[in-house]
Amino acid sequence: MNHDDLRYGNLKHMQTAWSEATPGVVHASWSGHRTACGKSVVEAKPVYESHPRDITCAECGATAVFDLNTAREHARAVTEKYEASGAIRHDFASSFREEAIEAIAPKAFEMRRNGESWNKIATDFLLIAASGEDGTSRFVGKVGQAVIDALEESEFPEGY
């Protein structure tokens, strides 16, 4: 997913694009060569004809409409407490944060596009991924909720 600060918040330079690898799916691109999800671009609309509402790839859509770096910061704030206590290692925390974003952001994009509320997104996540009462479920729930809160905070305000 997006590791490039030039993407989110720079939608005026975003192009909708297509890839041979995914016929019928509309992606986002900032270069015209690769999609946000890493596929080769075979065709891209000009920037002035492109809008986030046209994106159908959930990963590209999440990259376009959310600030994933904010999500990383929120998740890091949670995992750093566990690292400091010695409960988890830094390498695990880093990969877990990224996996959480990769799992949650595309699904949040799809759900928001379908008119779902942030409360529904958070509830569904907690019921599916963090439904237990054990320490692992609480950890997963805290990191996931931090990611969801950051996505809500950074969501593209003009609709999609």
The one-digit pLDDT tens for each residue of the chain (160 residues) are: 544 544 555 677 899 999 999 999 999 999 889 999 999 999 999 999 999 999 999 999 999 999 999 999 999 999 999 999 999 999 999 999 999 999 999 999 999 999 999 999 999 999 999 888 898 999 999 999 999 999 999 998 887 7
Per the listing, tokens 């986030």 go with 52
- How would you label 124-136 residue by residue, b for 16+ Cβ within 10 Å and e otherwise? ebbeebbeeeeee
Based on the fold, state whether residues 84 and 137 are members of the same structural domain: yes
Based on the fold, state whether residues 59 and 107 are members of the same structural domain: no
Based on the fold, state whether residues 127 and 75 are members of the same structural domain: yes
Based on the fold, state whether residues 95 and 127 are members of the same structural domain: yes
**Domain total of the chain:** 2
Based on the fold, state whether residues 89 and 108 are members of the same structural domain: yes
Based on the fold, state whether residues 76 and 149 are members of the same structural domain: yes
On whether residue 160 sits in a domain, the answer given is no
Range of the domain at 134: 68-154
